[in-house]
C-alpha cells in the first residue's frame, strides 16, 4: 500500500512523504502507482520553472517506494503562498486517487482527513 503523510505547521504544509508500493498490478502495468508518481513528480518538476525554487526532495535511490518533499519558507511571502498552493494541489490530487483506489493508497492529513470535499 502507498501511504501519503502530510505534516503541517502554522504556515501550511511543512512536508509530504509518500511511502510504499500500490501492488495493484504487475510492475509496469500498475495504474495506481503511475497516478501517484505522475502527480507527485509532475508537481515537483514544476516548482523550479514556475517559482524559481529548488525543491528539497529525498527519494529512494532505487526501486521507488519513497519520496519526501520538505517545503521551506521562502523570504518572499508570495512565493511561499504559491508553493503552498502547488503542495495543496498535490495533496488533493492524491486524495482523489485514494478515494478511487483506497485499498492501494491512503492519505493522512489533518486538514483534509475524510476527503477533499470537506
Q: What angle do CA 76, 81, 86 make, to 5 degrees?
A: 125
SS (H, E, C) 53-103: CCCEEEECCCCCCEEEEECCCCCCHHHHHHHHHHHHHHHHHHHHHHHHCCC
Is 73 among the residues known to form the active site?
Answer: no
| Cell of residue 24, nine digits | 495493484
Is 80 among the residues known to form the active site?
Answer: no
| Cell of residue 37, nine digits | 508518481
Q: Which of 21, 73, 80, 108 is catalytic?
A: 21
Q: Which of 33, 73, 80, 108 is catalytic?
A: 33
Q: Which residues form the catalytic set?
A: 21, 33
Amino acid at each position: 500500500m502507498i501511504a501519503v503523510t502530510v505534516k503541517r505547521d502554522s504556515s501550511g504544509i511543512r512536508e509530504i512523504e509518500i511511502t510504499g508500493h500500490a501492488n495493484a498490478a504487475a510492475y509496469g502495468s500498475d495504474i495506481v502507482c503511475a497516478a501517484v508518481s505522475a502527480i507527485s513528480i509532475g508537481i515537483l518538476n514544476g516548482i523550479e520553472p514556475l517559482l524559481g525554487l529548488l525543491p528539497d526532495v529525498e527519494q529512494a535511490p532505487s526501486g521507488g517506494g519513497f519520496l519526501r518533499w520538505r517545503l521551506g519558507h521562502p523570504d518572499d511571502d508570495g512565493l511561499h503562498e504559491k508553493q503552498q498552493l502547488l503542495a495543496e494541489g498535490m495533496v488533493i490530487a492524491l486524495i482523489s486517487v485514494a478515494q478511487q483506489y483506497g485499498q492501494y493508497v491512503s492519505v493522512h492529513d489533518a486538514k483534509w482527513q475524510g476527503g477533499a470535499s470537506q
